[in-house]
Amino acid sequence: MTDLKLQVIPLGGLGEFGMNITAIRYGEDIIVVDCGMMFPDAELLGVDLVMPDLTFLKENQAQVRAVILTHGHEDHIGAVPYFLSEIDVPVYGTAFTLALVERRLEEYDLEKEPRLIKVKPKQAIAVGPFKIEFIHVTHSIVSAVALAITTPLGVIIHTGDFKVDPTPTDNELFDLHTLADYGKRGVLLLLSDSTNSDRPGYTESERAVRPRMEEVFSRSENRILVSCFSSSIHRIQLVLDLAEEYGRRVAVIGRSMVSVTEIAHAHGLLSIPDGILLRPQDVMGLAREKVAILVSGTQGEPMSALSRVAVDNHKHISVDKGDTVVLSSRIIPGNEKAIFRMIDHMSRRGADVMYGSMNPPLHVSGHGSVEEMKLVLNLVRPRYFMPIHGEYRQLTKHARLAEHLRFAGLEETFIMDTGDVLEFDHHGARKAGKVTVGHVCIDSGSVEDVVQEMVIRDRRLLSEDGIVLPIIAINRNTGKLESPPEIVMRGFQTGEDGPAFLDAARQLVIKTLEGSNHEEKTDWGVMKEKIRADLKRHIVKQTSKRPLIMPVILEV
């Protein structure tokens, strides 16, 4: 019997939404499942993207064999360029998933040509001691797969993101039979999506959206603008089909919408009726009742196509009175203000904006609800269970769903934090320490523009308490002041006694300079720090605020 241990190490995606990445290690071999990014919350000022900290993988770089992708959503593939800039290994995924990865890679200048290897559902590959079979699942994006990873100690099933859609629009059913076969043969560990563990029942089928969309197309007498996630190929197909049925032509607006539509069409996953597409520049010249527009920007992103249309700042499209705008997507928590502001702008222009919960729905989730999670648990019947993908409350709710399986061979459920190590050997499973994990903040989309924690802290200070710039002109020969110090303040409020406060600050700077010896006066670094420290004490004492203080010394 082997003495080597099997380890499952979540490096992101637990206790948070997004940034899904998991390392699976056996002996001297590591495979990485998914490599996603996360969009920043409001506290990460000026940060565009958040990537996982790859310290553990970089420290064990010689052991990393491959990245295996479950599907093409940004929270599962967004960090692949960042990963490949650090660690050069092959990346496996379905053709559509890899096409989306290629699109992201175009924005980066990697030293080596990436090795992207296409796979299909029901196909199995060998990577070191691991044998990986790809199992088709239904989700809000096409070509999504679960993974059956056979290791020397047993089988690990990783569901990726899924819902059990009984009537998918492309008629590609969730491959429950293969999942059940593995369950019969015995599964060591199940890693399963927990996103909707707080939603009872079943998630509605993608086909449930059609009745509401049909109603929109049948009753709208003017332009129809539909905004959905650009990865929702089924939703895009529905709009194209209904436009053809109701005699409308379709313009596709927004970089991501155009790009993903082209990729899906090239891979035979999107059927575009002949002559239906309309150039954006021709939209306003066509009769309003003959136009439908697919536009990206459902979350109110400031520079997205829909946000620019909402404020009449798009070069080709505008919203007029009587137009119908459909937001066929969920409101991601944290984006409410931006989305409702955008809806307000379009409502002011007289548009009928449809959003939120309706029956029939405008949008259905891509994640399984409680009953679907139970179905997967009952089919797989794992020896050990670890909920993944979700915040801690969702992980714990999912763990409770598995309690009834204790009579069917489930030995233990592990609710893990990012960085925890779940270790297996022939004796069983246990938590075994932690590895280094964290967030890497990226500015302006480039993997070279990593934002340090100190920079984010300074930005937070600036946003809360502003900045104070003491400007001092000193004679380089004598070390004496050439003129009284200037105090420039931005975003910092002194209250009613502003002039008196400024005068006291100037006097303090003069006092600090006069109290310094000749050696200190000739070392600008020392002087700046002394002025900063004295001024900080004074401002905190007077105002209880902590602005960023940056002394500027001019040599005259």
* CA distances from residue 191 to 221, 365, 413, 436, 543 in whole angstroms, order as listed: 48, 20, 10, 21, 52
CA dihedral 251, 256, 258, 263 (to 10 degrees): -150
Strand partners, 554: 473
As a whole number of angstroms, the distance between CA 95 and CA 26 comes to: 28
Contact criterion met (CB below 8 Å) for 300 and 331: no
Which residue type, as a one-letter code, is found at position 431? K
**Do residues 187 and 226 lie in contact, with contact meaning Cβ atoms separated by under 8 Å?**
no
Q: What's the CA gap between 403 and 412, in Å, rounded? A: 9
Indicate the SS3 state at residue 280.
Answer: helix
Euclidean distance between CA atoms 491 and 307, whole angstroms: 28
Collapsing DSSP to helix, strand or coil, 14 comes out as strand
Can you list the pairs that 473-477 forms with residues at least 24 positions away whose Cβ atoms lie under 8 Å?
473/554, 473/556, 474/513, 474/521, 474/553, 474/554, 474/555, 474/556, 475/556, 476/555, 476/556
Other Cβ atoms within 10 Å of 152 Cβ, number: 12
DSSP string spanning 417-466?
-TTEEEEEETTEEEEEEE----EEEESTT-TT-EEPHHHHHHHHHHHHH-
Q: Which amino acids are annotated catalytic?
A: 193, 367
Q: Which regions of 179-275 does DSSP assign to beta strands (E)?
A: 189-193, 224-227, 249-253
Nearest partner of 78 among 112, 49, 37, 48, judged by Cα: 37
Dihedral over Cα of 47, 49, 50, 52: its sign: negative
In angstroms, the CA 63 to CA 4 distance is: 14
Would you state the torsion angle of the CA atoms of residues 500, 506, 507, 512, taken in this order, to the nearest 10 degrees? 150
Nearest alpha-carbon partner for 270 in 393, 165, 169: 169
CA torsion, ordered 141, 142, 143, 149, to nearest 10 deg: 40
User: Smallest Cα–Cα separation from 110: which of 102, 119, 118?
Assistant: 102
